[in-house]
Amino acid sequence: MVSVRAGRYANAGAVATLSPTARHRLQAQTAAADLPSDAALSHASAACLHGIVLWGVDLRTVQVVRPGTGGGHRRTSLHTRFARLGDDEMVDVGGIKVTTVARTLVDLGRWLPFESAVVSTDDALHRGLVTVDELTQALARGARAPQAGRARQAIAFADARTESVGESRSRVAMHEAGLPAPDVQIEVRSGVTGARVARSDFGWHERRTVGEFDGFVKYGRLLRPGQQPGDVVFEEKKREDRIRDEGWRVVRWTWHELDSGTAATRIERALGLS
């Protein structure tokens, strides 16, 4: 057995197989049993229970909000905040009181760096966990909360068409580099028949350029029964050739280039801006 949090234990073998998000979900679930009746899991802990994707988030501490004022208090395994919290800003998830998806995303927007907040908001919008109207209402309710402006910026930038963490981070990288905003999930069509040739992650129509984020997970997702990864790579090459045949340039980048900051430079060069 291993300690999940103070006084709570789980099977060591089972815990070892959990992803960081799943492990935090377990920590949050065990913490919930000891919380006051007016408390709700919030921020990253609420996101984990809602199944919202998190990126670049510290998951060592369970996060809770309670109605009231003051700075709250932090212990090794539990961070309690006091803030305005309406009954309609909480929902039941598996018997645990959790802030709503909209309230959770606004809280994340105030607390997280811009890139991480956009990743989570893109994911929730893309999967239909929240609507733009719900986010707008949640922002309005928390308009005077500390760092509310940060949440507004992240939510305004979010795009439901974004399909992965890599695509979200790519959009942020382009934005922060001052590059022209791309269209998302564009279709390249034949100049002869008008038929769709391909769909690409990003596109700049006026520059006849498409952009593709290359993540290993993406290729796994494209595998059909009986296919090998090399088959998918070959098909992607043929697809790229068809795009080029229509007079479009293609630029690709990877996780490493996002992490190193060189992705934006390659995109800028492909767009003919450097």
Domains of the chain: 2-160 (no CATH), 167-270 (3.40.960.10)
Q: Note the pLDDT of residue 239.
A: 85
The string of pLDDT tens digits covering residues 56-65 is: 999 999 999 9
Asked whether 200 and 210 are in contact (CB, 8 A), the reply is: yes
Among candidate residues 107, 103, 95, 150, the one with its CA nearest the CA of residue 129: 103
Among candidate residues 124, 4, 126, 118, the one with its CA nearest the CA of residue 59: 4
| 3-state SS class at 73 | strand
Residues of the chain with pLDDT under 50: 217, 219-220, 222-223
For 206, which DSSP code?
Answer: G
Q: Note the pLDDT of residue 5.
A: 64
The string of pLDDT tens digits covering residues 121-171 is: 999 999 999 999 999 999 999 988 889 999 999 999 999 999 999 999 999
For 209-221, give one letter per residue: b (16+ CB within 10 A) or e.
bbbbbebeebbee
Q: At 25, phi and psi to the nearest 5? A: -60, -40
State both tokens at 224: 């059909």
Q: Note the pLDDT of residue 263.
A: 96
**Spatial distance between the Cα atoms of 143 and 60, rounded to a whole number of angstroms:** 29
